[in-house]
């Protein structure tokens, strides 16, 4: 057992407690990673609030990067000291989903938590990651190599917000050059959806958000146009921008029901809504199915951008090194582990693009 410091949730909706816990050694087929950075994701916050259930006490955090410090028996493809990102995507490689190229939908059950309290009681490794901690023990499928000289606070964003946003556009949405895209929400994931649309060659990228300052940021990341969601009938503005054509694809990157119910108004005939943001369990939206049927429209979910780590991380890293994928500009705050509740509060406020906890 190794003793590490971690931010532990003991009750939903309450601040995390930074304390010492036990992390067991990496077993056969496992890897220990000593973390350098872990970003605060809104999904972590939703879990902390009890929006999707889960076991307590728990350690959240799933958008991380660090260095391999222990290799369990049988692990291949990594060496001690390798710099890697750590994700929540744990894939067995042989179930029907993995075999069909959809590792994000792996049906293999979650692993037992390698974390325990000092009294020996179990602590849940939330999302198979538990990265609000100095070290993690994970499955090798949750790792992807990153360049040694890449800033860790930038690299860790590839673990979730970047692959979720860019992947939703490229992998799920299949956006092609010349198409028109609407992105609802210009937060961390939304900015990456905007980047994905720019990389795909979209002719018009229309950002929609409640805050003018977020719309300014959206233009920095590639939006050609912006619309305030609080405007009366904002879809009319999209109609003006597109000459009545509307959008080939609408990406909803926030978990607000109002955003989901508004999304069809921006959509062209034959277009589709890509559902990225996750509302709380039990919340529902209302639609008129006849409109989708009559106009050939569609709606599809996108989990983690339908990413395949070995396929997608190398080209995203390459785009970053070319200056075509912004990562450093996404980091709006750097915090220590002891400041994690402040980082969470700042993230809740909506002011941050991405707050990152830096361990060293």
In a 10 Å sphere around its CB, with 0-12 CB exposed, 13-18 middle and 19+ buried, how is residue 282 labelled? exposed
Contact indicator for 195, 325 with CB cutoff of 8 Å: yes
pLDDT at residue 293 in the model: 95
Taking only the tens of pLDDT, the chain with its 360 residues reads 899 999 999 999 999 999 999 999 999 999 999 999 999 999 999 999 999 999 999 999 999 999 999 999 999 999 999 999 999 999 999 999 999 999 999 988 777 899 999 999 999 999 999 999 999 999 999 999 999 999 999 999 999 999 999 999 999 999 999 999 999 999 999 999 999 999 999 999 999 999 999 999 999 999 999 999 999 999 999 999 999 999 999 999 999 999 999 999 999 999 999 999 999 999 999 999 999 999 999 999 999 999 999 999 999 999 999 999 999 999 999 999 999 999 999 999 887 899 999 997
The superfamily CATH assigns to domain 2-160+306-358 is Medium-chain alcohol dehydrogenases, catalytic domain (3.90.180.10)
Please name the helix (run of DSSP H) or strand (run of DSSP E) that holds residue 279, with its range, or none. Answer: none
Find, among 351, 340, 313, the residue nearest to 155 by Cα: 313
Residues 6+ apart with CB under 8 A from 14: none
Rounded-to-integer distance, Cα 125 and Cα 104, Å: 18
Q: What is the pTM of this model?
A: 0.95
Rounded-to-integer distance, Cα 335 and Cα 8, Å: 17
Domain boundaries, the chain: 2-160+306-358, 172-301
Domains 2-160+306-358 and 172-301 share a fold: no
Number of continuous H segments (helices) and E segments (strands) in the chain: 11, 18
pLDDT at residue 191 in the model: 97
pLDDT at residue 78 in the model: 97
pLDDT at residue 108 in the model: 84
The CATH fold assigned to 172-301 is Rossmann fold (3.40.50)
pLDDT at residue 1 in the model: 86
Contact indicator for 277, 301 with CB cutoff of 8 Å: no
β strands within 56-164, DSSP E: 58-59, 64-71, 83-86, 115-116, 122-125, 135-138, 143-145
């Amino acid at each position: 057992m190794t003793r590490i410091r971690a931010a532990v949730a003991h009750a939903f909706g309450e601040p995390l407690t930074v304390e010492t816990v036990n992390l067991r050694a990496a077993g056969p087929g496992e890897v220990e990673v000593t973390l350098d950075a872990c970003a605060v994701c809104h999904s972590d916050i939703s879990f902390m609030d009890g929006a999707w259930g889960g076991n307590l006490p728990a350690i959240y955090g799933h958008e991380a990067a660090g260095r391999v410090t222990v290799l369990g028996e049988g692990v291949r493809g990594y060496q001690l000291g390798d710099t890697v990102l750590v994700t929540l995507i744990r894939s067995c490689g042989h179930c029907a989903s993995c075999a069909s190229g959809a590792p994000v939908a792996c049906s293999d059950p979650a692993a037992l938590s390698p974390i325990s309290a000092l009294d020996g009681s179990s602590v849940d490794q939330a999302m198979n990651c538990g990265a609000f901690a100095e070290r993690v023990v994970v499955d090798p499928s949750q790792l992807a190599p990153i360049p040694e000289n890449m800033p860790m606070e930038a690299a860790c964003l590839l673990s979730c917000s970047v692959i979720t946003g860019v992947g939703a556009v490229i992998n799920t949405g299949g956006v092609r050059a010349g198409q028109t895209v609407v992105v609802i929400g210009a937060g961390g994931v939304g900015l990456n959806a905007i980047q994905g649309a720019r990389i795909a060659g979209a002719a018009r990228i229309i950002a929609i958000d409640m805050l003018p300052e977020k719309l300014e940021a959206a233009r920095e990341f590639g939006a050609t146009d912006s619309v305030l969601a609080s405007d009366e009938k904002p879809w009319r503005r999209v109609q003006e921008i597109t000459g009545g054509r509307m959008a080939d694809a609408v990406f909803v990157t926030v978990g607000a029901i109002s955003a989901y119910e508004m999304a069809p108004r921006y959509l062209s005939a034959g277009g589709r809504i890509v559902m990225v943001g996750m509302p709380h369990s039990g919340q529902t939206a209302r639609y008129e199915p006849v409109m989708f049927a009559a106009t050939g429209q569609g709606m599809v979910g996108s989990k983690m951008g339908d990413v395949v780590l070995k396929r997608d991380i190398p080209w995203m890293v390459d785009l970053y090194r070319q200056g075509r994928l912004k990562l450093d500009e996404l980091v709006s705050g750097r915090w220590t582990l002891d400041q994690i509740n402040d980082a969470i509060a700042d993230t809740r406020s909506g002011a941050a693009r991405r707050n990152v906890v830096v361990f060293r």
